[in-house]
Amino acid sequence: LSTGASPITYSWWLPDGSSSTLAEPTFAFSQSGVYGICLTITADSGFCTSVMCDTIVVDSSGLISTNPIWFDCLGVLWGPAMPGSPCDDGDPNTFGDAWTNNCTCAGMGQVDCLGIPGGPNQPGTPCTDSIPGGVITGTWDANCTCVGGASTLYVTGTIAGCNGSTLVNVQDWWTQPNLDTTFSTGANCNYVFAYDPTSPQFGYVTISYSCDGGLTWYTDSVNYSFSGAFTVQQNGNCQGALVDCLGVPGGSALPGTPCNDGNPMTYSDTWDNNCNCTGIPMSNCQADFTVQQTAPWQIATVNNSTGVPPIDHLWWLPDGSQSTATNPSFTFTQAGVYGICLTITADSGYCTSVMCDTVVVDSSGMINTNPVWYDCLGTLWGPNMPGTACTDSLPSGGTFSGVWSANCVCVSNGLTDCLGIPGGPNMPGTPCDDGNPVTSNDMWDANCNCTGSVNAPCQADFWVIQAYTTDSLLGPVPIPNELWLWNLSNGGSGTYSYLWDFGDGTTS
């Protein structure tokens, strides 16, 4: 599908490291795997060069896919083990194990009384806790209630299966003024409420909780009678009664679980604590590198690529080999014009970028990364560019002066060509057709006559004898299986070429 001004030449780097100059080569894979293929074209008489690379996946049955390449955290092509997805870190004391952005399977650890994984706020340690009735300074008990103080009633409990903000209501009609307050559990489903009853020697406290945001309440009453601090505990159970983020009772669409926010530019979509489905925005990435010479014939690449880590690198080096190093080096063995490409995959496989460049190596091993172009005489970075002066020979003898045209034809400075076309291409020294089939290399001469060279007849001829050697006693002795040939061909003109066929499949 390549485009450009003719003639176009092609240079393919095939999956096995071989090359081809065909316009549309074919290739047969011998085993499954992930392969790279690159095409470099040179068009417009060498004034335009373009490179494209792609990646191909071949499965075990020989079927081929050209979808974008990415690997999950287990190294599985297009696998499900992506950052944010569940995993098992092998530690029974952790929970919520998930793949991190660096593809590490990590759990959240044990949760202390404040909901901190691996935190210091364990039962029996000092605590200071904010509660709806004030601040408690005391000690965490076995139920992770911060207990302390005197003449204060602590209303505590745990609502199993809560959603992290289950409503709790506490009422006491024995105290003055009457108590009627509503609050939410903590993230660990525990709650604590403290107040000072006006008659602490005796009373009842009514505790209610709702699993559906206040539509339905479950209520119980507990009496209290104490001298000094006293604790009333009332637990609840919302398991099986939760309404998920889609409004389904007992549904699975809970905060922290996967969802689909409908935005193709995000990934790892999950329900947040407010039941909003949100994903991580995909970030842009850009493959970028420069080449530095470290010694004659040697280069080092400087990788300037950007993107969200981790970033994977795949290099196509000048000899067709590949490298996954960040900054590979390379040693050339001969002068020439070479291509080098870098493909990066970033943001957990959600962004891919490709960059290619051309390197020129001269006969002394010096390296140049300037843009590659050829002048009208095929000289790399030569002076004979369109619009510059030129001198060309005429078939009839002599030369003429002119300028190089846009098509790299040396045309005279006249304004009208040999066909009377102003600025036309039919200038002396350019091809034409004299209409005579027995001539060749027809050209416009200095007088604008279209003339060709008459093809002189030629004749193939040779003489053959048995090869021999001379013996001082026996005279000439034939050499078995060897002939001597004399080429007697004649006629024709120009440069001769020969092709011998010896009848046994060998040629010369």
Domain boundaries, given as residue ranges, for the chain = 9-65, 126-237, 289-368, 389-454, 457-508
Say whether pLDDT at 250 is over 70. no
Q: Percent of the chain at pLDDT above 70?
A: 86
CB 275 within 8 A of CB 245: yes
Domain spanning 289-368, CATH architecture: Sandwich (2.60)
203-237 confidence digits (pLDDT tens): 888 988 887 777 677 888 888 776 555 777 788 87
Contact 373, 381 (CB under 8 A): yes
Specify the amino acid at residue 101: N
Give the model's pLDDT for residue 274: 79
Would you give the DSSP letter of residue 501? Answer: B
Mean pLDDT of 354-374: 87
pLDDT at 242: 56
Look up residue 117 and give its DSSP letter. B
Question: What pLDDT, on the 0 to 100 scale, is given for residue 214?
Answer: 74
Interval 477-495 mean pLDDT: 73
User: Residue 414: what pLDDT?
Assistant: 52
CATH fold match for the domains 9-65 and 289-368: yes
Q: Which CATH superfamily includes the segment(s) 126-237?
A: Immunoglobulins (2.60.40.10)
Helix (H) or strand (E) holding 393: strand 389-393
More confident residue, 92 or 294: 294
Does residue 499 have a pLDDT over 60?
yes
The count of other CB atoms within 10 Å of the CB of residue 444 is 23
Q: What pLDDT was estimated at residue 311?
A: 92
Per-residue pLDDT band for 296 (boundaries 50, 70, 90) equals: very high
For 256, list phi and psi in degrees, rounded to 5.
95, -10
pLDDT at 218: 80
CB contact at 8 A, 155 and 193: yes
Highest mean pLDDT among 145-154, 237-246, 366-375: 366-375
The reported pLDDT for the residue numbered 44 is 83
Average pLDDT over residues 247-263: 77
C-alpha–C-alpha distance, residues 488 and 476, integer Å: 25
Cα→Cα distances 66→59, 69, 312, 365, Å = 11, 8, 18, 38
Tokens of 54: 């792609």
Looking at per-residue pLDDT, the higher value among 465 and 367 belongs to 367
* The pLDDT value given to residue 249: 56
8 A C-beta contact, residue 434 and residue 426: no
Instruction: Please state, in angstroms and as integers, the Cα–Cα distance from residue 250 to each residue in 211, 238, 261, 272, following that order.
Output: 11, 10, 21, 17
Q: What is the pLDDT of residue 35?
A: 85
pLDDT (tens digit per residue) in 15-43? 888 999 998 999 999 998 888 898 899 98
What is residue 53's predicted lDDT score, i.e. its pLDDT? Answer: 84
pLDDT on residue 22:
92
CA distance 184 to 424: 89
* 348 vs 69: CA distance, rounded Å: 11
**For residue 134, is pLDDT > 50?**
no
Q: Residue 132 — very low, low, confident or very high, per pLDDT cuts 50/70/90? A: very low
Query: pTM for the full model?
Result: 0.33
User: Which of 110-119, 403-412, 471-480 ranks highest by mean pLDDT?
Assistant: 403-412
Q: Indicate whether 488 pLDDT > 80.
A: no
What pairs with residue 497 in β-bridges? none
Q: How far apart are CA 268 and CA 465, in angstroms?
A: 86
> Where does the pLDDT of residue 200 fall: very low under 50, low under 70, confident under 90, or very high at 90 and above?
low
pLDDT grade for 130, boundaries at 50, 70 and 90: low
State the Cα–Cα distance between residues 286 and 321, nearest whole angstrom. 22
| Residue range 75-88: mean pLDDT, rounded | 85
Walk across the sheet containing 179-184 and list its strands.
Answer: 179-184, 167-172, 203-210, 218-224
Instruction: Return the CATH number of the domain spanning residue range 9-65.
Output: 2.60.40.10
Average pLDDT over residues 384-395: 80
Q: Among 244, 253, 188, which Cα is nearest to 211's?
A: 244
Q: Is pLDDT above 70 for 340?
A: yes
- Residue count of the chain, please give it: 508
d(CA 404, CA 200): 109
Please give the residue that has the higher pLDDT: either 222 or 474. 222
Compute the distance between CA of residue 299 and CA of residue 292 in angstroms, rounded to an integer: 6
pLDDT score for 326: 94
Over the stretch 424-436, which tens digit does the pLDDT of each residue have?
678 788 899 988 8
Residue 273 pLDDT exceeds 50: yes
| pLDDT tens, position by position, 436-454 | 877 788 888 877 888 887 7
The reported pLDDT for the residue numbered 226 is: 64
Comparison of pLDDT for 291 and 500, the residue scoring more: 291
- Round to whole Å and give the CA distance between 168 and 185: 7
461 neighbors 452 (Cβ within 8 angstroms): no
| pLDDT confidence bin for 468, thresholds 50/70/90 | confident
Tell me the pLDDT of the chain averaged across its residues: 81
Mean pLDDT throughout 80-97? Answer: 79
